[in-house]
Amino acid sequence: MNTLNVVICEDSLADMRRLMGIIPKAPFETTITTFVHARDFAQAYIPGIYDLVFMDIFMGDAGGEETPCGVEAVAALRRVDAIVPVAFITNSTDFALDGYRLSVNHYLTKPVQAAAVHDVLAAAHEAKLKRPGLSVRVDRKDVTVCPDQLVFAEQSGHYFTLTMVDGRRLRVRGRLDQLEDRLANPQFLRCHHSYLINLALVQDVDADTMSASLYGGNTAFIRRGWLARTRTAWEDWMFAMTRKKDAEGER
């Protein structure tokens, strides 16, 4: 859990080497993965694998498009992972709006300075340490999962199955009531006696089929009498997240 997994997306070898020289000097363990093309990064990205992304805004040839490839790559990343910290490497503040839109955490100007990079690394490491971890016993082994990566949990007999964003399905002995108590977070909602869903990964609530559509094509059923409150809780979540997105802008 203490190792910080860093990915660098930079098409300039010089800038990449510069970063790769700074990052290992952090006071904690780090791993580095590099991408030269934004498209490769977007296709290879799996939520939960990386703890920090350095992204060159003008990575690769924008091909005449208004939005640089680096921004598009982060946009694609954010569609599947709202949590991983992202640092733009840029010369210009022209993409500040994109930064807001994509919840970019840091801006580093080229040539990047060691002190600024270490600040970014420290912030990401602290965020990782603070990120709640859920320890569950799977096949007689203890596994720690990040609740934010949990899509939904389904009870079946004496076991419940955790479906994660990366497609993993973890079968855990126990009751959903116990999991619900452990999570104790308004982000997670019991919508059915056999289903617990992550509101952040809900894509739709369908009254006709009495079900919630979730990330990754998953479906969780909703108890008929709980449909209204499930919908309300999901709406509350979306509205709260939108307001939280830029909390300092509040009155």
CB of 11 to another protein, least distance (A): 23
Does the protein bind another protein through residue 201 (CB under 8 A)? yes
Name the E strands within the chain.
4-9, 30-35, 52-56, 86-90, 106-109, 134-138, 141-145, 150-156, 159-164, 169-173, 188-192, 195-198, 202-206, 211-214, 218-221
CB 170 within 8 A of CB 136: yes
User: Which range in 49-57, 97-105, 124-132, 138-146 contacts another protein by CB under 8 A?
Assistant: 97-105
The nearer residue to another protein, 4 or 57, going by C-beta atoms, is 57
Does the protein bind another protein through residue 215 (CB under 8 A)? yes
Distance between CA 160 and CA 158 in Å, rounded?
Answer: 7
Does the protein bind another protein through residue 246 (CB under 8 A)? yes
Q: Can you tell me which of 3, 31, 203, 209 binds another protein, judged by CB under 8 A?
A: 203
Q: Are strands 159-164 and 150-156 parallel, antiparallel or unpaired?
A: antiparallel
Does the protein bind another protein through residue 166 (CB under 8 A)? no
Does the protein bind another protein through residue 235 (CB under 8 A)? yes
CB of 135 to another protein, least distance (A): 28
Distance between CA 6 and CA 54 in Å, rounded?
Answer: 8
* Distance of alpha carbon 150 from the chain centroid: 11
Does the protein bind another protein through residue 243 (CB under 8 A)? yes
Q: Can you tell me which of 101, 110, 118, 182 binds another protein, judged by CB under 8 A?
A: 101
CB of 205 to another protein, least distance (A): 9
What residues numbered 124-153 form the site for another protein, per CB under 8 A? Answer: none
Q: Can you tell me which of 7, 84, 124, 202 binds another protein, judged by CB under 8 A?
A: 202
The dihedral over CA atoms of 197, 203, 206, 212, expressed in degrees to the nearest 10, equals -20
Q: Can you tell me which of 63, 64, 91, 97 binds another protein, judged by CB under 8 A?
A: 97
3-class DSSP state for residue 149? helix
Does the protein bind another protein through residue 250 (CB under 8 A)? yes
* Distance of alpha carbon 216 from the chain centroid: 14
Neighbours of 191 (CB within 10 A): 27
Distance between CA 236 and CA 97 in Å, rounded?
Answer: 25
Judged by CB under 8 A, the number of residues near another protein is 27
Residues that bind another protein (CB under 8 A): 67, 78-79, 82, 94, 97-98, 100-102, 201-204, 215, 231, 235, 238-239, 241-243, 245-246, 249-251
